[in-house]
Amino acid sequence: MGRNRRSITASYEETIAFGKRFARELKPGSIVCLFGDLGAGKTTLIKGIVEGITGLEPCQVTSPTFTYLHVYAEQSSPPVYHFDLYRLNDPEEFLGLGLEEFLFADGICCIEWSEKIHSILPQNCLRLQLNYEGPDSRSITYC
Ligand code: ADP
Ligand code: MG
pLDDT tens digits for range 78-134 = 999 999 999 999 999 999 999 999 999 999 999 999 999 999 999 999 999 999 999
Query: Residues in the chain, how many?
Result: 143
- What's at 57, amino acid-wise? E
Residue 101 · residue 74 · CB < 8 Å: no
The residues that bridge with 8 in the sheet, in sequence order, are 139
Task: Find the 135 Cα to ligand 2 centroid distance in Å.
Answer: 17
pTM: 0.97
Mutate to test the pocket of ligand 1, among 7, 12, 35 (most ligand atoms within 8 A of CB): 12
pLDDT band at residue 71 under the 50/70/90 scheme: very high
Nearest alpha carbon, ligand 1 atom 5 = 41
- What's at 106, amino acid-wise? D
Give the number of the atom of ligand 1 that is nearest the alpha carbon of residue 84.
2
* Virtual torsion, Cα 115, 67, 106, 125, nearest 10 deg: -10
Task: Find the 44 Cα to ligand 1 centroid distance in Å.
Answer: 6
Determine how many CB atoms are found less than 10 A away from the CB of residue 79: 19
* Virtual torsion, Cα 132, 28, 60, 24, nearest 10 deg: 60
Residue 9 · residue 140 · CB < 8 Å: yes
pLDDT band at residue 20 under the 50/70/90 scheme: very high
Average pLDDT over residues 27-48: 98
For 102-122, give one letter per residue: b (16+ CB within 10 A) or e. bbeeebbbbbbbbebbeeebe
Residue 39 Cβ contacting ligand 1 at under 6 Å: yes
Strand order in the sheet with 80-84: 6-9, 137-142, 126-134, 31-35, 108-112, 80-84, 69-72
